[in-house]
A and B are shown apart, each in its own frame.
Chain A
Amino acid sequence: DAGITQSPKHKVTETGTPVTLRCHQTENHRYMYWYRQDPGHGLRLIHYSYGVQDTNKGEVSDGYSVSRSNTEDLPLTLESAASSQTSVYFCASPHWTETDTQYFGPGTRLTVL
């Protein structure tokens, strides 16, 4: 978890409400990633960013958006939360010495009722 914090740790929200999950990294790395983890699916990539003002869609990007206004933060927004978005969300950034490997944050558990 070195250098990556996520907030909140837990969140319960209602269907149709907007939600923003936060990720902050102190390693000054340009690349950042968001994954979701669901039972029976492992981790799946939602969005990623190569740097400020850059965002890219991953495998399961529908219903999610990200913005990158500085190097340290990559907030993940659910414009209108759906029950199918109940999941555990992880933010990640590469290791400095082996850039193909990733450090993961501690995760945010989101429940959409």
Chain B
Amino acid sequence: SQQGEEDPQALSIQEGENATMNCSYKTSINNLQWYRQNSGRGLVHLILIRSNEREKHSGRLRVTLDTSKKSSSLLITASRAADTASYFCATVSRGGGADGLTFGKGTHLIIQP
């Protein structure tokens, strides 16, 4: 069954604006990750946040994690046309990542030039 649910399903913003995507999950996790998928390509790992972390930054990306609400958000600041892609959250269970990732359904982000 799907662990993560992203919100919104689709998001269209102007270049230069900030984009925020949310992910909710159901069970206890070891960590939560965000991936990007450009059209027709495989997924690319963006950032990982562990269950004992609340916020993490990587370049223009900021991820937050609220384990009490079982939710995470991904903020992309100063968006660029190249950020147009689908974004997926994925969780790793308490047992670790050897059993694979559980993905949400994704948010399709469109950056208007």
Q: Which residues of A contact B (CB under 8 A)?
A: 1, 4, 31, 33, 35, 40-45, 48, 50, 56, 58-59, 90, 92, 94-95, 98-107
Task: Report yes or no: A90 in contact with B97, Cβ–Cβ below 8 A.
Answer: no
Chain A residues with CB under 8 Å of B31's CB are 100
Q: Which residue on B lies nearest to A103, using beta carbons?
A: B45
Known: A90-B43, A100-B30. A50 touches B98 (CB 8 A): yes
Task: Report yes or no: A104 in contact with B88, Cβ–Cβ below 8 A.
Answer: no
Interchain residue pairs with CB less than 8 A apart (18): A1-B42, A4-B42, A41-B105, A42-B2, A42-B103, A42-B105, A42-B106, A43-B90, A58-B100, A59-B1, A100-B30, A100-B33, A100-B96, A102-B97, A102-B101, A106-B41, A107-B41, A107-B42
Assembly CA distance A44 to B48 (angstroms): 19
Q: Which residue on B lies nearest to A41, using beta carbons?
A: B105
Task: Report yes or no: B33 in contact with A101, Cβ–Cβ below 8 A.
Answer: yes
A88 to chain B, nearest CB (A): 9
Chain A residues with CB under 8 Å of B30's CB are 100
With a 10 A CB-CB cut-off, give which of B40, B41, B90, B98 has the most chain A CB atoms: B98
With a 10 A CB-CB cut-off, give which of A35, A42, A98, A101 has the most chain B CB atoms: A42
A56 to chain B, nearest CB (A): 8
Chain A residues with CB under 8 Å of B43's CB are 43, 90, 92, 102, 104
Q: Which residue on A lies nearest to B2, using beta carbons?
A: A42
B102 an interface residue at 8 Å Cβ cutoff? yes
Contacting A106 at CB < 8 Å: which of B2, B42, B103?
Answer: B42
Task: Report yes or no: A45 in contact with B100, Cβ–Cβ below 8 A.
Answer: yes
Interface residues of B in 29-62 (CB under 8 A from A): 30-31, 33, 40-45, 48
Task: Report yes or no: B48 in contact with A101, Cβ–Cβ below 8 A.
Answer: yes
Assembly CA distance A40 to B105 (angstroms): 6
